[in-house]
Chain A
Amino acid sequence: MIIKQLSIFLENKLGRLTELTKVLAENDINISAFSIAEGTDYGIIRCVVGRPELAYKVLRDLHFSVTITDVACLVVPNQPGGLHTALEILSKNNIAIDYMYAFASAHNAVVVIRSESTPKLIEVLQQHNFDMLCCEKIYQNH
């Protein structure tokens, strides 16, 4: 249930993001989720991709500063209170969230969550019958 997220440190320079997406496109790597944490002179790109190991390797070879971080991809109903129920559980269980980003489709929303203890977070939410996206749903077949 742990998903490998890529984190990439990018300088705030025109065209730098395009260089990143170009590498992913050329290597047939699909992006399922994507977020930018923006600082004054640099940003952190976090994304969930179809081939994390390959993406890590090609980006590293091209001297991108990339790391792999474990995250959980939680599925919540796309309706009022959907996210709240899950977060309330985490808070009651003293699980702190470092950052998260979400995307919604027709029926469901998916929230990418990074926590100090991702395995525990997954365990707690599953006990409460929450769905997690598993690797097969995201990763591309080789």
Chain B
Amino acid sequence: MFWNKEIECINRDELETLQSQRLQFMLHRMYNNVPFYRKKFDELGIKPEDITSVKQLSQLPFTYKTDLRDNYPFGLCAVPQQQIVRLHASSGTTGKPTVVAYTQHDLDVWSEVIARSFTMAGVGNADTVQVAYGYGLFTGGLGAHYGAEKVGASVIPISGGNTKKQLQLMQDFASTVIACTPSYAAFLGETIVSEGILNNIKLRVGVFGAEPWTEEMRQYIQNTINIKAYNIYGLSEIIGPGVSMECECQNGSHIYEDHFIPEIINPETGEVLPEGELGELVFTTITKEALPLLRYRTRDLCTLTYEQCACGRTLARMGRIVGRSDDMLIVRGVNMFPSQVETVLLELSETTPHYAIIVDRENNLDTLEIHVEISEQYWTDEMKELDAMKKKITHALSNILGLNPAVKLVEPNSMQRFEGKAQRVTDRRKL
């Protein structure tokens, strides 16, 4: 099923013309409205009118997550505040969040790409969609919400967590579609089976994203509760979920190239790699009004193919995300950086900045353990003080991370010291 067949099956030459026009328009807006980009262009001696085709994209500079942070909160916005109708935020590499702004048109585009995505998964107005992504600053919940409404589905905005209620409404409202992180889907699936309610549920489709997952995980979820599980990809900087989506062929995710131009680059050199090679995914937004981004480095590693899909779509497909070119971790759908942990530990005088982060998956739910070294002068021989210290550290970490880590105090000086690049993260999840 297609939501916008004209675009989704567009002739690639026509697509290139459309992209080039939109790119030009966006470059002019960036140059005129965003001092950050004007400065970059001027430094490189490039004028917006010099770029007439998407083929010239590689001549343009990259944008990094740190650029968003350095221009916090609205420095990269290309429209006046009066035109901004929505703000979302995700965790940044240090204390400050990454802010993304939307105009009404941006929200319309977002609903459109998510409507395409739900339709791609065979979801329509006869469906009841249970949105179990978190609602709020995180783009997952509201993004899926508006797209599901656009296709005319009945939407249950239940948000994440509260498994008991999820299962009750799933049965009472006869949900046919569930949208959440794959790890939560696996957990819900297991609970459905262990509660013996599999026969009472009507789920047939899952739209899962916000964290990388494997083909094995897909098979596991599909087999546990007998649904078809689709991958949806996105990142808030580009728009949120709905940058790309899998079709029924489950063979790569279709990127909505009429809005987002993908490139795969060598993360070390920045050089654009040939089709099919593994590298870092880079996006240029060509219709975004509030926060247009030029060659944004996602840090996600994957491949791209432009081969037409068996479903008929001509849009480029990206393979599974196989890793990151930075140290970001996605735990229970929440982005976190080791540097955030370090910042907290340095702020607390009781701890040293020597730590270890251990991420694992138990019963399909991510676990986060942080080993913390207490500084020599703060270590006491009284249990109650050590316990209080542990509580304080846990509290400070959960405040910044938005996750509840299991903190383990370890002996002063027991943590490995690194002379070169520190290896502080152990990710035992099999991705």
Q: How far is the CB of A69 from chain B (nearest CB, A)?
A: 6
B387 & A69 in contact (Cβ 8 Å cutoff): no
B427 on interface, CB distance cutoff 8 Å: no
Per the bound structure, the CA–CA distance linking A46 and B412 in Å amounts to 17
Select from chain A the residue with minimum beta-carbon distance to B413: A63
In the bound complex, residues from chain B placing their C-beta under 8 Å from that of A39 are 383, 386-387
In the bound complex, residues from chain B placing their C-beta under 8 Å from that of A63 are 411, 413-414
Given known pairs A11-B410, A11-B411, the reply for A37 and B383 (CB within 8 Å) is: yes
B379 on interface, CB distance cutoff 8 Å: yes
Select from chain B the residue with minimum beta-carbon distance to A45: B381
| CB 8 Å contact bits of B351-387 with A (1 = contact, 0 = none) | 0000000000000000000000010100111110011
A9 & B408 in contact (Cβ 8 Å cutoff): no
Per the bound structure, the CA–CA distance linking A2 and B382 in Å amounts to 19
Per the bound structure, the CA–CA distance linking A44 and B381 in Å amounts to 7
B409 on interface, CB distance cutoff 8 Å: yes
Per the bound structure, the CA–CA distance linking A28 and B156 in Å amounts to 72
| CB 8 Å contact bits of B172-201 with A (1 = contact, 0 = none) | 000000000000000000000000000000
A65 & B379 in contact (Cβ 8 Å cutoff): yes
Select from chain A the residue with minimum beta-carbon distance to B387: A39
| Contact partner, A42, options B382, B409, B413, Cβ 8 Å | B409
A65 & B383 in contact (Cβ 8 Å cutoff): no
In the bound complex, residues from chain B placing their C-beta under 8 Å from that of A99 are 382
A7 on interface, CB distance cutoff 8 Å: yes
Q: A39-B383, A41-B409 are in contact. List 6 more A-B contacts (CB 8 A).
A: A41-B408, A63-B413, A63-B414, A65-B379, A65-B413, A65-B414
In the bound complex, residues from chain B placing their C-beta under 8 Å from that of A11 are 410-411, 414
Select from chain A the residue with minimum beta-carbon distance to B408: A41
In the bound complex, residues from chain B placing their C-beta under 8 Å from that of A44 are 381-383, 386
B410 & A42 in contact (Cβ 8 Å cutoff): yes
A-B contact list, 13 entries, CB within 8 Å: A9-B381, A9-B386, A37-B383, A39-B383, A39-B386, A41-B409, A42-B408, A44-B383, A44-B386, A65-B413, A67-B379, A69-B381, A99-B382
Q: How far is the CB of A14 from chain B (nearest CB, A)?
A: 15
Residue among B381, B387, B409, B411 with most chain A CB within 10 A: B381
Q: How far is the CB of A117 from chain B (nearest CB, A)?
A: 15
Given known pairs A9-B411, A9-B412, A41-B409, the reply for A65 and B387 (CB within 8 Å) is: no
Per the bound structure, the CA–CA distance linking A69 and B410 in Å amounts to 21
A136 on interface, CB distance cutoff 8 Å: no
Select from chain B the residue with minimum beta-carbon distance to A6: B381
Write the residues of chain B forming the contact surface with A, with a CB cutoff of 8 angstroms: 374, 376, 379-383, 386-387, 408-414
| CB 8 Å contact bits of A63-81 with B (1 = contact, 0 = none) | 1110101000000000000
In the bound complex, residues from chain B placing their C-beta under 8 Å from that of A31 are none
In the bound complex, residues from chain B placing their C-beta under 8 Å from that of A7 are 381
| Contact partner, A10, options B386, B387, B411, B413, Cβ 8 Å | B411
Given known pairs A7-B381, A44-B381, A46-B381, the reply for A65 and B411 (CB within 8 Å) is: yes
In the bound complex, residues from chain B placing their C-beta under 8 Å from that of A10 are 411
B379 & A9 in contact (Cβ 8 Å cutoff): yes
User: In A48-64, which residues have CB < 8 Å from any B CB?
Assistant: 63-64
B382 & A65 in contact (Cβ 8 Å cutoff): no
Q: How far is the CB of A8 from chain B (nearest CB, A)?
A: 8
B386 & A42 in contact (Cβ 8 Å cutoff): yes
Per the bound structure, the CA–CA distance linking A99 and B411 in Å amounts to 21
A88 on interface, CB distance cutoff 8 Å: no
A26 on interface, CB distance cutoff 8 Å: no
Select from chain B the residue with minimum beta-carbon distance to A37: B383
Per the bound structure, the CA–CA distance linking A7 and B381 in Å amounts to 6
B376 & A65 in contact (Cβ 8 Å cutoff): yes
Select from chain A the residue with minimum beta-carbon distance to B373: A65
Give 8 nearest A-B pairs by CB, closest first: A7-B381, A65-B412, A41-B408, A65-B411, A37-B383, A63-B413, A44-B381, A9-B411
In the bound complex, residues from chain A placing their C-beta under 8 Å from that of B379 are 9, 65, 67
Per the bound structure, the CA–CA distance linking A98 and B246 in Å amounts to 62
Q: How far is the CB of B387 from chain A (nearest CB, A)?
A: 7
In the bound complex, residues from chain A placing their C-beta under 8 Å from that of B412 are 9, 65
In the bound complex, residues from chain B placing their C-beta under 8 Å from that of A41 are 408-409
In the bound complex, residues from chain B placing their C-beta under 8 Å from that of A42 are 386, 408-411
User: In A71-98, which residues have CB < 8 Å from any B CB?
Assistant: 98
Per the bound structure, the CA–CA distance linking A26 and B379 in Å amounts to 26
In the bound complex, residues from chain A placing their C-beta under 8 Å from that of B411 are 9-11, 42, 63-65
In the bound complex, residues from chain A placing their C-beta under 8 Å from that of B386 are 9, 39, 42, 44
A98 & B387 in contact (Cβ 8 Å cutoff): no
In the bound complex, residues from chain B placing their C-beta under 8 Å from that of A69 are 381
Per the bound structure, the CA–CA distance linking A10 and B383 in Å amounts to 12
A67 & B409 in contact (Cβ 8 Å cutoff): no
B414 & A98 in contact (Cβ 8 Å cutoff): no
Q: How far is the CB of A128 from chain B (nearest CB, A)?
A: 27
Per the bound structure, the CA–CA distance linking A7 and B414 in Å amounts to 17
Per the bound structure, the CA–CA distance linking A97 and B196 in Å amounts to 54
